[in-house]
Amino acid sequence: MVEVTARALNRPFTYGIPPELQGGVQVGSTVEVPFGPRRLVGFVLEILHDPGAEALSHHLRPLLRVLDPTPFWGQDLLGLADWMRRFYGCTWLESLQSAVPGPVLRRARAARAATRRSRTRSLPPAEPVAAYPEIAPNRAQELALEAIREARAVGGTVLLHGVTGSGKTEVYLRAVQEVLEEGRQAVVLVPELALTPQAVERYRGRLGGTVGVLHSGLPDLERREQWWSLRRGDLNVALGTRSAVFAPLERPGLFVVDEEHETSYKQEGAPRYHARQVAFQRAAQVGAGVVLGSATPSLESYHLARQGRFRLIELPGRPGGRPLPSVRIVDMRAHLRRGRLLSPDLGEALRDRIAQDEQVVLLLNRRGFASFLQCQECGFVPTCPECSISLTWHRARGLVRCHYCLHQEPPPEVCPGCQGSRFRTGGAGTERLEAEVQELVPGVPVVRMDSDTTSGAGAHRRLLERFGSGQARVLVGTRMIAKGLDFPSVTLVGVVRADAELHMPDFRAAERTFQLLAQVAGRAGRGERPGEVLLQAMDPEHPCLLAAATHDYKAMFHSEMAIRKEALYPPFCRLVRVLLTHPDPDRAEAEAIRIGRSLSAHLRQARVVGPAPCPVERLRGRHRWHLLLKGPKVQELMDGVRNYLRPPEGPDFHVFADPDPQSLM
């Protein structure tokens, strides 16, 4: 008999194995089971062989058929799913489905023959990839590789803290190559789809056809084929974004988390896992090593490394002694009335670099043409009917749009408040910055990368190829262009509104601002020509900006650690965020207060902060309240939530707990 978990059910159910299916059922197999009058798809979690199983099986409903004889999951991934279910407070189904891409699962629910056909179908031949040259490691890189070997031997973790352009990728490549030579496999994570094309080029250019790619931007057929090739062992390196941490490898020996500080490694929907934490857990189960790499590590990771929990390796300089770019802060208070995004300093530097046949990267972490439209007569601002935020003006599309729920509508011709017809734009986004650059350097090709221009299949790769080949001279974009990209001809980086996120209502605001600025600054001067960075800011004396201007991570670290310690925020505690939403504002508030009182009364070892309205108070028509639980261990906080959070009575309430939240908005 077997234990099976089925769709929409959050506990295992036991079924008998009929004689005709004996030998065809394995742990991890996909099966069809009867459940009441229905037939459901289920996943085999365990095969029971106790002495009474044979007699008991005669009283159990039998499996109907095996949909796929090849197990989706090995024992390590099933164990990982069980841990996720308990640690993140999700269901069995949510944890299992996170480990297998949707296209693979959807195909599995078809008939067995169809599933078999999908796996034997071949993909078009892969495009040839140029060899990625090996660079002789310097002393710091050799020390890093030795530390990784030692970590792999004991299942430990190395934090590779290297300035931008210091050769972290070369260390990763050599470490992965060593793992493959030992007959084991590797998982390499990158935080953004925008980084995938260059990463694929490098890893396949060095390691050949053994590299598989897993991310949501792949067409369904290619995603299925890549997954099954990794499952069968035809490919031995899984490269991708956060979900690639679940790659179905049988012999993983190394997990690499590049740009480990990035918040995109956190899944915002259930299960709310963090790929870095999952990598730790999976590596511990199989005896593998973990490498975390970043020029700007998260405060939590750097703190653990300083405590000796991780092995800390520093790469303090760029190969060949190339200098880090010079950084200058431009005080924008003197330019408030110009109405331009680019200061005279940045505009002049841009024209100068273009005249010298060099390339420029400009970052503005907001898409659209303007943040909002505003009536010049009465001050009315069009807002989203479902969310408590203003609508962003997208001039090219002729629409105002909500970036949360994606509601869009034509801009008002007449103000509904005063019937006026004059509107001004407020704030600015990448679309307006692109237009201003084209006015400043007419005829110079510009590439814009943001969520509006990269939504299509292969869009990231095409835009980066256009810039990398020199067809475009200026790259304008949001934070997706800030990390990992390596273009030797880029000699100037400009950041518009460098301090825009410093005063967000989030304790990580300064840390994230520093990380963004340090990362994008690192795009400059990676070739033979020196780089220059201009940071435009309204608060030019802020310690975060001063630390970024001097490439001083440790100054930012010590400054922020003092603040975190006094206010009791990570890394001096762990957090669980409890969020409640409801269409009615009064009911949302009342239930949030009740939950806060209940948790405060029962969780004596934890500090309960709140409840309070979320900074984005209404989203998709639902009013939002949250509270924070602070304590030494996430598992204890989550156990407290499970034991003492009584669900609200009545329909339409949504309540969930988010362990180690990366956003408090």
What 454-462 contacts at long range (C-beta under 8 Å, 24+ apart), as own/partner pairs, is 454/193, 454/194, 454/480, 457/217, 457/219, 458/217, 460/193, 460/194, 460/196, 460/197, 460/217, 461/196, 461/197
Residue 637 has pLDDT above 70, yes or no: yes
Residue 456 has pLDDT above 60, yes or no: yes
Percent of the chain with pLDDT over 90: 54
- Asked which of 361-365, 402-406, 514-518, 540-544 is least confident by mean pLDDT, the reply is 402-406
The residue among 318 and 622 whose pLDDT is bigger is 622
Average pLDDT, the chain: 88
Residue 271 has pLDDT above 70, yes or no: yes
Domains of the chain, first to last = 2-120 (3.40.1440.60), 139-320 (3.40.50.300), 322-369+428-562 (3.40.50.300), 574-659 (3.30.70.600)
Interval 37-83: pLDDT, tens: 888 888 888 888 765 555 455 678 898 988 877 787 788 888 999 99
Split at pLDDT 50, 70, 90, the class of 368 is low
**Closest to 44 (Cα-Cα) out of 81, 19, 14:** 14
- Asked which of 113-117, 131-135, 350-354 is least confident by mean pLDDT, the reply is 113-117
Split at pLDDT 50, 70, 90, the class of 115 is very low
Interval 302-331: pLDDT, tens: 999 999 999 999 999 887 778 899 999 999
CA–CA distance, 162 with 309 (Å, rounded to integer):
19
CA–CA distance, 174 with 253 (Å, rounded to integer):
14
- Give me the numbers of helices (H) and strands (E) for the chain, helices first please: 19, 27
Residue 493 has pLDDT above 70, yes or no: yes
What are 312's strand-pairing partners? 159
Interval 517-567: pLDDT, tens: 999 999 999 888 999 999 999 999 999 999 999 999 999 999 999 999 999
Q: What is the pLDDT of residue 53?
A: 52
Q: What is the mean pLDDT of residues 571-575?
A: 96
Residue 352 has pLDDT above 90, yes or no: yes
In 450-512, the DSSP E strands lie at 474-477, 490-495
Split at pLDDT 50, 70, 90, the class of 416 is confident
CA–CA distance, 394 with 371 (Å, rounded to integer):
9
Interval 127-172: pLDDT, tens: 667 788 888 999 999 999 999 999 999 999 999 999 988 999 999 9
What is the dihedral sign for C-alpha 627, 631, 634, 635?
negative
Furthest C-alpha separation in the chain:
85
CA–CA distance, 43 with 616 (Å, rounded to integer):
39
Q: What is the pLDDT of residue 113?
A: 39
Provide φ and ψ at 242, rounded to 5°. Answer: -55, -35
Q: What is the mean pLDDT of residues 104-122?
A: 52
CA–CA distance, 150 with 159 (Å, rounded to integer):
13
Interval 370-384: pLDDT, tens: 667 788 888 888 888
Q: What is the pLDDT of residue 121?
A: 47
Q: What is the pLDDT of residue 380?
A: 85
Q: What is the mean pLDDT of residues 341-367?
A: 93
CA–CA distance, 332 with 218 (Å, rounded to integer):
42
Residue 23 has pLDDT above 90, yes or no: no
Q: What is the pLDDT of residue 654?
A: 92
Q: What is the pLDDT of residue 373?
A: 79
Q: What is the pLDDT of residue 148?
A: 97
Q: What is the mean pLDDT of residues 421-445?
A: 88
Residue 280 has pLDDT above 90, yes or no: yes
Residue 472 has pLDDT above 60, yes or no: yes
Burial 144-182 (b: 16+ CB within 10 A, else e): bbebbeebbeeebbbbbbbbbbbbbbbbbbbbbebbbee
Give the CA-trace dihedral at 5, 9, 11, 17, to 10 degrees. -30
Q: What is the mean pLDDT of residues 280-295?
A: 96
Q: What is the pLDDT of residue 4?
A: 61
Q: How many CB atoms lie within 10 A of CB 614?
A: 21
Residue 240 has pLDDT above 90, yes or no: yes
Q: What is the pLDDT of residue 9?
A: 61
C-alpha atoms less than 13 angstroms from C-alpha of 589 in its C-beta half-sphere: 6
Split at pLDDT 50, 70, 90, the class of 245 is very high
Residue 104 has pLDDT above 70, yes or no: yes
Split at pLDDT 50, 70, 90, the class of 108 is low
Does 137 sit behind a cis peptide bond, omega within 30 degrees of 0 on the bond before it?
no
Residue 358 has pLDDT above 70, yes or no: yes
591 alpha-carbon distance from chain centroid: 31
Contact 550, 608 (CB under 8 A): no
The pair of three-digit structure tokens given for residue 66, joined into one six-digit string: 């095996």
The pair of three-digit structure tokens given for residue 69, joined into one six-digit string: 């004889």
